[in-house]
Amino acid sequence: MTLTRHALPGPEISDAKLDPSIQALTLSDVRMPGAPLVYVNRGFEKMTGYERSEVIGQNCRFLQGPDTSSDAIAQMRAAIASGAPLIVDVLNYRKNGTPFWNRLSLTPVKDPMGRATHYIGIQSDITRMRFLQERLQLIALDLAATEKHELD
């Protein structure tokens, strides 16, 4: 899905409409160097521990850390450079340093000429889901090993 820009919301974005979202929402301006954040909702503040006043004007790189995948970063950069949408799972870090798995959906907002001017980011904390997937994989491996041992 690509959004076409008609009238880009400014500081008057209605917090009453966007802030109650369970999802973390961000808006970045890709026309500016570093594609700084121009809006984050309370869901973002709650998920990351960063307050709006700390992040507006910053690039989202502050969420990256030592174990953030360089492949995920490359995918994000390529999508933004080409004006394409993207969904990627990336290991991010909260303000307190705690890692969390972030399913990031990036959607370009395009001007009438078709150029991406902004990106909407929808972020979901999928840490628990990733943990459960890893547990299921370990259980499946253990079960397969047990069955193989019983057959031998």
119 C-beta neighbours (distance < 10 Å), count? 24
Q: Which position has the higher pLDDT, 151 or 139?
A: 139
- Tell me if 86 sits within 8 A of 106, measured CB to CB: yes
Residues 28, 30, 2: CA angle, nearest 5 degrees: 80
The span from the CA of 126 to the CA of 105, in Å, is 13
Average pLDDT over every residue of 116-137? 89
Q: What is the pLDDT of residues 1-35, one digit of tens each?
A: 444 444 455 544 555 555 666 789 999 999 999 99
Averaged pLDDT score across all residues of the chain? 86
Domains recognised in the chain with CATH numbers: 3-127 (3.30.450.20)
Q: pLDDT exceeding 70 applies to what percent of the chain?
A: 82
